[in-house]
Amino acid sequence: MLSFLVGILCGGAATLMKLLVGWIHDLAMPSVPGGRLCWWLLLVPVVGVLIVGAFCRYVVKDNIEHGTELIRKHLTLKRYRMRRSTMWSSLVGASITLGCGGSAGAEGPIALTGAGLGSNLGKYFRLPDKMIGVLLAVGAGAGIAGIFKSPIGGALYTIEVLAMQLSVAGVIALFAACLTSSTVAYLLSGMTLDIDFVPRVEFSPQMTLAAIILGVICGVYSFYYSHTMRLTENRLDALRNPWVKNVASGLLIGVIVMFFPTLYGEGYGIIGDSLGGHFERILGDTLWSGATSQWALPLLLGAVLLLKGIACSATNSGGGVAGDFTPTLFAGAMLGTFAAMTANALWGLDMSVSDYAFWGMAGVMAGAIQAPLMAIFLVAEMSGDLRMFFPLMVVAVISYSVVSLLSHHWVPIRRTWLHNDFHKLLK
């Protein structure tokens, strides 16, 4: 019964967070004129990060930057009793961060909110610590299920990313909470999905080679993406004064989004344009809004891909409160669009750009987060269309394997950004 209650609360919290992000975005950032620099974009992220930094230091009096890491820490140390402020602090912090242009996602904060709800419900009903730990993990998965409207994806977040070992009763409670949370979020949003995607072509065996190639590309890019995040985080951590760190982080985000407004916020609108084939809209609010060359959009996307990891890390590690999953979905959609458009332009092919953008979402998430199962099901459930399940699986597994090989033979990737315990599930 408590798992159902956790699911209802998490679904409502996920919907509330989306509404708050949209409201703050509309308040802080009116329409952006295309074709020239908008200096307001430079200021808004600085103000947002400063507000959130002060909120964390003086109101919450806790570090809530990396939600998934904090949940793992509580589970590892068996500190299942979370503070009451956890139920609302990351929700408020993420809404301000993302509404003011933070180039990241809402999944880490909503997972932490769900974990706080589960833990505090367990404390309220005086459950033993072990049961409180189960509700904490259930709440984290329900938060992910609600924000993405993906019940299986949310459950796999707890099992695969958090590596939480659950009994049969715990697994049933987890799936009950995730299904309830995603259903509540679906109903409260007017029964709409976050991704409106219809495959342009039917997948055929002849397209398998293209899916494998895209998987390799996603794996190489995921390796680059993760290391740019790590390097940016290290540079920001070197700044000891929190106010200086907040300003530096906000300015870095501001400069990037001022030149590339495509990177402002979570980017669901841009993902929708890629999947819907409305590629002219991606150029619409940029300095290249009037460009007519066939290379204008691929070049823009190439620059966006190079900068996305930096912008995301600056958002998450410089004082803002945000998540790591949505940025990988955004980068994957941009990478699939870039790869298909470039191939069509260079070799005169007729590849369905929108379909490859869809596959790329699972590829970069699987490679960058190192959670292939969650990536496959989450992307499929977000669209509500399972006809492309096989290519999603191929791209995700290949990308995950490429990153594993590169990180093993070259430079190990920090656990800050990747979950490397997936290998334990295979043993």
Which tens digit of pLDDT belongs to each residue from 197-215?
A: 888 888 888 889 999 999 9
Mean local confidence (pLDDT), 218-247: 94
Give pLDDT, residue 36: 72
Question: Does residue 402 surpass a pLDDT of 90?
Answer: yes
Question: Does residue 425 surpass a pLDDT of 80?
Answer: no
Give residue 417's pLDDT band: very low, low, confident or very high (50, 70, 90). very low
Phi and psi angles of residue 323, each rounded to the nearest 5 degrees, phi first: -120, 175
DSSP state of 322: -
Give pLDDT, residue 196: 84
Task: Give the span between the Cα atoms of 170 and 140, in whole angstroms.
Answer: 13
Give pLDDT, residue 415: 42
Give 105's strand partners: 323
User: pLDDT tens digits, residue range 270-321?
Assistant: 999 999 988 888 887 777 777 778 899 999 999 999 999 999 999 999 999 9
DSSP state of 160: I
CB neighbourhood size of 198 (10 A): 14
Distance of CA 201 to the CA centre of its chain: 27
Contacts of 170 (CB under 8 A, 6+ apart): 134, 137, 138
Mean local confidence (pLDDT), 55-60: 94
CB neighbourhood size of 232 (10 A): 22
Mean pLDDT score of the chain: 90
Give residue 409's pLDDT band: very low, low, confident or very high (50, 70, 90). low
pTM value > 0.85: yes
Mean local confidence (pLDDT), 372-384: 93
Task: Give the span between the Cα atoms of 399 and 355, in whole angstroms.
Answer: 17
Mean local confidence (pLDDT), 182-202: 91
Give pLDDT, residue 133: 95
Give pLDDT, residue 111: 96
Question: Does residue 15 surpass a pLDDT of 60?
Answer: yes
Question: Does residue 37 surpass a pLDDT of 90?
Answer: no
Share of the chain above pLDDT 70, in %: 94
Task: Give the span between the Cα atoms of 281 and 300, in whole angstroms.
Answer: 13
CB neighbourhood size of 322 (10 A): 29
User: pLDDT tens digits, residue range 243-279?
Assistant: 999 999 999 999 999 999 999 999 999 999 999 988 8
Residue 142 near residue 109, CB atoms below 8 Å? no
Mean local confidence (pLDDT), 93-108: 94
User: pLDDT tens digits, residue range 123-151?
Assistant: 999 999 999 999 999 999 999 999 999 99
Give pLDDT, residue 427: 41
Give pLDDT, residue 35: 60
Give pLDDT, residue 155: 96
Give pLDDT, residue 17: 97
